[in-house]
Structure 1
Amino acid sequence: MEFTAAQIASFINGKILGDENASITGVSPIENAQNGQLSFVSQEKFAEFISLSEASVIIVSGKFVKEENYKPTLIVVEDAYLAFQVLMNLYQQMREEKKSGIEQPSTIADSATIGENVYVGAHSYISDKSKIGNGTQIFPQVYIGKNVKIGENSIIYSGARIYDYCVIGDNCIIHSNTVVGSDGFGFQPTKDGYQKIPQLGNVVIENNVEIGSNCSIDRGTIGSTVIGEGTKIDNLIQIAHNVKIGKNNVIAAQAGIAGSTVIGDWNMIGGQTGVAGHLKIGNQIRVQAQSGINRDVQDGETLFGTPAFNAGDYRRSYVLFRKFPEIVERINNLEKNSKENTNE
C-alpha cells in the first residue's frame, strides 16, 4: 500500500512540515529508515535522526522540532508514539480481512449456538451447548469444550484449548496454544500417595482481555479463576486455580501466580515474577522483573528482589551486597588491628 504524508496526517491530526505529497510504501525503525519509508521519533535519544534519517516521512513529537526545514517531511503531533500506534492499528485493519463462515472439515455440536458472521476454521471442534457470539473468529485446530460461552468479536487463534464451562467476554484475543480451564494443581497427601482433588470450577475472562501464546490458566477448584476486563497477559504465563486478577493489569512473560491470590487493578508485573498463593496484591503496583512476592502488597508500591521489597531500598542494598566481601575483609582487618593494639 502507498500513502502520502497528507493522508497520514489526516489520520492522526498532524501538522505537515515539508512536502505533503511525499509518499511511503513501508515502515521502519528510525535508525534504519530509507527513502520511501515512514518512521517516528518520540524520545530524546533518537532526536538527532530527524536531521540524519533517509526516511521520506517521520512522525515527530512537537518538542523535538527545532527548525523549519528538514530533509524528510515531518508530521508533527503531541505524542509521536501514540500517533504511530493509531496508524499501525489502522494498517492492521486494512491488511487483515475479517473472515466469516465455517470451513470444512470442522465439528460443531448440534446443540451449540453460533452467532452471525462467525468464522470457524478447519479442524476446529465446538462441543455441546457452547455459545459463540457474533463476529467471533475461531481459527483452525481450536478445541472448545462443553457449555463454553464466548462473546462477540473475540479471536481464538490456532491451537488454543478452551475447557468445559469457561466464559470468555467480548473483544478478547487468545493466542495459539494457550489453555484456558485446565485442572488446578490440587492434590491431598495420603499414606498411599497424592489424591487428586476434583477441579469443578471454571475460568471467567472478562471483556477486552488479551492472552499471549502458550499460557495456562487453571480452572477454580470451586468457583472461578477470573481475569478482569482490559488485562493483558504476555506469553508463557501460569495462572493457578481461583486466582482473581482485576482490571487493566499487564503481566509480562514467564510470570507465575499461585492459587487463590487476589490482584487488584492497573498493576504492572514484570517478566519471570513469581507470586505466592493466598496473597492480596493491591492497585497500581509496579513489580520489576524476576521478583518474588511472598507477602500482601499495598496500593502504589514498587517492588524488586526475592523476596521482593521496596525497589529503591533494594538497589541501595544491592550496592552494599556487591561490596560485601570487601566490607567483611575491612571488618576483619579492623578487628585484627584492634586486638594487636590491645595486646600492646
Structure 2
Amino acid sequence: MGDRGGPYTLGQLAQALGAVLEGDSELVIRGVAPLETAGPDQLSFVTHPKSLPLAASSRAGALLVGAEVKDLRAPLLRAASPQTALIALLKLFHPAPPFSAGIHPSALVASDSRIHPNASVGAFAVIQPRAVVGPRARIFPMVYVGEGVEIGEESTVYANVVIREGVRIGRRVIIHAGAVLGSDGFGYAFDGSAHQKIPQVGGVVIEDDVEIGANVTIDRATLGDTVVRRGTKIDNLVQVAHNVEIGQHAIVVAQSGISGSCRVGTGAVLGGQVGIADHVTIGDGVMLGAQSGVPGDIRAAGQYLGTPARPVAEARRIYAAMPRLPDLLKKVRALERRVRELEARLGIESTGSGEADAD
C-alpha cells in the first residue's frame, strides 16, 4: 500500500508524536518502512531490543526509538512508548479512506430492516428482516446479516462475514473477512443408537471495541449467550464454542480453541494454538504460552505453559529435563541391575518392580 499522507518534516512529526527530536528538524520524511527496506526519505522504528543490530545498519532517514536506546546515529525521534507513537505515525501516513454512506444497488436489504442513513452497505450484501445497522457502520460486499442482528455504530464488517440471526454487536467492533458469528454450538446427546442434536437457541453478544480476526468462528449459546466482552482482541482462525464468556481486554492468538461453557478472565492472554477443555475457568491476568493444553481451572494470575499447563518455571524445568530422559533411563536400569546383583550376593530377596527394564 502506498503512502497516502505526508510528506512531513521531522520537526512536524516530533510535535505530532510528542517525541524528542535528535537531528535535523527540516529533514523531509515521505513514509514509514521496515528497517530492512527503509530508504533515506523514510522513517523506521525500533520497538524491540533484538532490532538494534539491524537498526544500526539501516538506510532509514530517521528512526523512532525509546528513551533508553543508545549508540544509534541521529536523526532519532525518542518517544516514551515507541509502539504507541508508531500507531500515531502510521495513522498520519496511512489515514483511513473516506467514508461513503449508502446502500449499493445490488445489496439485498429487507424492507423492515433498519439501516442508518449514515451507514454503508456494500455490493451483494444481504440484510435480513429486523436487522439493525447503526450510524457510520460499514458492511463490506458479500456480507450476510441474519434476522434480528444488531450492529453498533462505527463497526466494520469485512467481506464474506456471516452473522447469523440474533447476534448483537456493539460499537467500534471490527470483524475480518470470513468470520462466522452465531453458528450452532456443537451440542449432541447420544440416545444409545445415534447422536441427537441439541437445539442451539441462544445468542452471541460482542461488546464494544472488540476485534475479531479472519475466519474466526464464534458459536451461539445453547441457552443464554456466548459473550466476548469489551476490548478483547481475537486473532485469525480461533474457535469459540457455545456459552463461552471471554472477559474484557483479553488476547486470544491464532488457532486457539476454547471449548463450551469456559470462562476466560479479564486481561487473560492465550498464546497460539492454546486448547482449553470444556467448563474450565481461566482467571483474570492468566497468560497461557503457545500450545498450552488446559484440562482444568487456572484461577491465579501468572504465566503458564505446557500440556497440561503448569506455572512457567515448573514447565521449563520439565522441558529442560526431557532431552535427558533416555540417558537417565539407562542409568536407572544400570543401577537396578547393580542393586539386584548386590541383593543376590547378600541373599536378599529383591523387592524392585523391574519396570525400568521394560522397553
How far is the alpha carbon of 1:82 from its aligned partner? 2.0
Cα distance in 2 for partners of 1:145, 1:330 equals 65
**Partner amino acid, structure 2, of 1:196:** K
**Which residue does 2:79 correspond to in 1?**
77
Partner SS state of residue 45, structure 2: strand
| 2:340 counterpart of 1:325 | no
**Which residue does 1:86 correspond to in 2?**
88
Cα distance in 2 for partners of 1:46, 1:151 equals 40
**Partner amino acid, structure 1, of 2:204:** V
Equivalent runs, 1:162-173 vs 2, <5 Å: 162-173=163-174
**Which residue does 2:353 correspond to in 1?**
none
**Which residue does 1:294 correspond to in 2?**
295
> Deviations for 1:304-328, whole angstroms, at most 9, x for unmatched residues?
1111111211110122222111001
How far is the alpha carbon of 1:60 from its aligned partner? 1.7
1:3 to 4, 8, 20: 8
**Which residue does 2:242 correspond to in 1?**
241
**Which residue does 1:13 correspond to in 2?**
18
Partner SS state of residue 323, structure 1: helix
How far is the alpha carbon of 1:331 from its aligned partner? 1.1
Cα distance in 2 for partners of 1:336, 1:181 equals 62
Cα distance in 2 for partners of 1:241, 1:51 equals 50
Cα distance in 2 for partners of 1:305, 1:46 equals 28
Identity of aligned residues (%): 37
2:62 to 24, 32, 57: 57
1:29 to 34, 58, 62: 34
**Which residue does 1:339 correspond to in 2?**
340
| Bigger mean CA offset, 217-226 vs 16-25 | 16-25
| 2:154 counterpart of 1:184 | no
**Which residue does 2:276 correspond to in 1?**
275
How far is the alpha carbon of 1:336 from its aligned partner? 2.0
How far is the alpha carbon of 1:36 from its aligned partner? 1.2
Closer/same/farther in 2, CA of residues 30 and 341 from structure 1, 3 Å limit:
same
How far is the alpha carbon of 1:31 from its aligned partner? 3.6
Equivalent pair of 2:102/2:117 in contact (CA under 8 Å): no
Partner SS state of residue 320, structure 2: helix
**Which residue does 2:354 correspond to in 1?**
none
**Which residue does 1:42 correspond to in 2?**
47
| Bigger mean CA offset, 108-117 vs 214-223 | 108-117
Equivalent runs, 1:173-212 vs 2, <5 Å: 173-212=174-213
**Which residue does 1:257 correspond to in 2?**
258
> Deviations for 1:254-312, whole angstroms, at most 9, x for unmatched residues?
00011111111000001111111111211000000111101111131321111111121
**Partner amino acid, structure 2, of 1:184:** G
**Which residue does 2:214 correspond to in 1?**
213
How far is the alpha carbon of 1:330 from its aligned partner? 0.6
Cα distance in 2 for partners of 1:87, 1:313 equals 41
**Which residue does 2:306 correspond to in 1?**
305
Partner SS state of residue 68, structure 2: helix
Partner SS state of residue 60, structure 1: strand
Name stretches of at least 5 consecutive residues in structure 1 with no aligned partner.
none
Equivalent pair of 2:141/2:159 in contact (CA under 8 Å): yes
**Partner amino acid, structure 2, of 1:82:** T
| Bigger mean CA offset, 229-238 vs 332-341 | 332-341
**Partner amino acid, structure 2, of 1:88:** L
**Partner amino acid, structure 2, of 1:86:** A
Aligned residues: 340
Name stretches of at least 5 consecutive residues in structure 2 with no aligned partner.
1-5, 346-359
Partner SS state of residue 289, structure 1: coil
| Bigger mean CA offset, 230-239 vs 184-193 | 184-193
Partner SS state of residue 96, structure 1: coil
How far is the alpha carbon of 1:89 from its aligned partner? 3.1
**Partner amino acid, structure 1, of 2:27:** A
Equivalent pair of 2:31/2:93 in contact (CA under 8 Å): no
| Bigger mean CA offset, 315-324 vs 158-167 | 315-324
How far is the alpha carbon of 1:191 from its aligned partner? 3.4
Cα distance in 2 for partners of 1:95, 1:174 equals 16
Cα distance in 2 for partners of 1:240, 1:267 equals 17
Equivalent runs, 1:130-145 vs 2, <5 Å: 130-145=131-146
Closer/same/farther in 2, CA of residues 342 and 220 from structure 1, 3 Å limit:
closer
How far is the alpha carbon of 1:48 from its aligned partner? 4.6
